[in-house]
Structure 1
Amino acid sequence: MTDAPVERNEIKNDDVIVELTDVHAGYLPGVNILNGANLVAHKGELIGIIGPNGAGKSTLLKAIFGMVEIRSGDVTVKGESIVGLKADKLVRRGVAFVPQTNNVFPSLTIQENLEMGLYQNPKIFAERLEFVSSIFAELGKRLKQRAGSLSGGERQMVAMSRALMMDPSVLLLDEPSAGLSPVRQDDAFIRVSDINKAGVTTIMVEQNARRCLQICDRGYVLDQGKDAYEGSGRELLNDPKVIGLYLGTLGTDAA
């Protein structure tokens, strides 16, 4: 678990970084994947989103990042609606997104990948490199290596580092442990926790439900495009309904 989960009585309304309110969204006309989804992420929180396949977990992140049409409801960042904004505008608003696959430029070096994350503000490269190197120290020693030669876990580190280069208010992570070996999965979760402890509000979608709930401050269980359950990671890990319906088939390889 994280060292200091956010206490509910310490949260104020102006601490809200991201809020989804009754969001309906989908890819095809007349077909919604999200059916009234709600979510709140407060400053400094690590939020985990779990649920069965097809529940709309990745779609929720893509809705926040403007990759899916939102047909009704609202998404706000620091109290301002971001519905309809393109990716470049969202990055300027402090929203960073790391997709599950195809998340690095394989022909570019690690440094060039990081520079791509700062194309809107290249002057702060040295400052941001120091920050990401404090979390991913090994990358700072291999800046000239091409991303295409890296392992899956190393590519994931590059992708997260690039997303952090613009000093985002919120980091959206889609299945950061997907396709990794058990050792690399553990490392990915440690790095996510380190990023959050460094002050970055983080929203993470994960199929490894148990491990996700072990490190997050709060979790949402998504089912059929709606938030079926919400609570602290510990509460959801010990909720008989969540265990019976979801944890029995999700994340069974977690520690």
Structure 2
Amino acid sequence: MNTSVASTSTEVVMRANELHAGYLPGINILNGCTIEARKGELVGIIGPNGSGKSTLLKSLFGLVDIRDGSVTLNGEDVTGMKTNQLVRKGVGFVPQTNNVFQALSIEENLQMGMFLKPKEFASRSQEIWDLFPMLADRRKQLAGSLSGGERQSVAMARALMMEPSVLLLDEPSAGLSPVRQDETFIRTRQINQTGVTIIMVEQNARRCLQICDRAYVLDQGTNAHEGTGRELANDPKVIELYLGTLAADVEAKSKH
């Protein structure tokens, strides 16, 4: 069952237009990729391995050089802006790996998320504890002692400390058990329902399409398909070319 509720807003929060980007000189991973996320939307990014999904998120967050194209945030050109500037402007990012400070407690991780506004930690942290009650109960526990799913929650909580208008999630369910994956997807939707626009790269394509408002399928660094989650989940071409392969990839990873 598709549980998404499509946003009716036409206000674009973040837009990537004809992005060309890559890690090595002269070699592009993104080849004209264009996406947008409207206010209050949960936007999914799916596609085969190597299609440029994570590179897209890192480009949006200033971690990969953009060689051509542009990124706008609430109508402002932020192409090539540094990550700390983007955080100040309301962009949060949760990477797939190494996303917590393992030697610090849960509470200290959240404090790191407020490094730009340390005086506001007390008031903001209470809102986050309400959203993540299981973290509140264990706030003094070291992040390195947590399970993968719990670390993912800490990483999300830290990214939310600065009250971002848009949250970028890179493979939030990667490496988690099916139960923890479900919890992560539920948590993602709950965060979205508080008003945070979310752009989520996800390996579990079918589950992603179930919860997102709209989605893009990337292939070789460019747009292959786009539509609502329901439309793509029922599109014969998407099913034939992508969903079967992606499901097999996820299943193979879960066995390792």
Q: What is the TM-score when the length of structure 1 is the normalising length?
A: 0.95
Residue equivalent to 2:33: 37
Residue equivalent to 2:232: 236
1: distance between equivalents of 2:246 and 2:23? 26
1: distance between equivalents of 2:4 and 2:29? 35
Unaligned runs of 5+ residues in structure 1 are none
Map 1:53-132; keep pairs closer than 5 Å. Answer: 53-132=49-128
Cα deviation 1:114-141 (Å, max 9, x = unaligned): 0000000012212222222222111011
2: distance between equivalents of 1:135 and 1:105? 20
Is 1:207 aligned to 2:208, yes or no?
no
Q: Is the 8 A contact 1:211 1:251 kept in 2?
A: no
Secondary structure at 2:245 match in 1: coil
Q: Is the 8 A contact 2:167 2:198 kept in 1?
A: yes
Is 1:158 aligned to 2:154, yes or no?
yes
**Could you tell me how far 1:3 is from its partner in structure 2?**
5.5
Identity across matched positions, percent: 65
Is 1:23 aligned to 2:19, yes or no?
yes
Q: What is the TM-score when the length of structure 2 is the normalising length?
A: 0.95
Residue equivalent to 1:4: 5
1: distance between equivalents of 2:33 and 2:236? 23
Q: CA RMSD in A?
A: 1.2
| Alpha carbons of structure 1 residues 232 and 179: separation in structure 2 relative to 1, 3 Å | same
2: distance between equivalents of 1:192 and 1:128? 19
2: distance between equivalents of 1:159 and 1:45? 21
- How many residues align structurally? 249
**Could you tell me how far 1:4 is from its partner in structure 2?**
2.8
Q: Which amino acid aligns with 1:184?
A: R
Q: Which amino acid aligns with 1:94?
A: G
Q: Is the 8 A contact 2:61 2:83 kept in 1?
A: yes
1: distance between equivalents of 2:100 and 2:141? 13
Secondary structure at 1:249 match in 2: helix
Is 1:192 aligned to 2:188, yes or no?
yes
Residue equivalent to 1:136: 132
**Could you tell me how far 1:34 is from its partner in structure 2?**
0.2
Residue equivalent to 2:215: 219
1: distance between equivalents of 2:74 and 2:247? 32
**Could you tell me how far 1:251 is from its partner in structure 2?**
3.0
**Could you tell me how far 1:63 is from its partner in structure 2?**
0.3
Secondary structure at 2:226 match in 1: strand
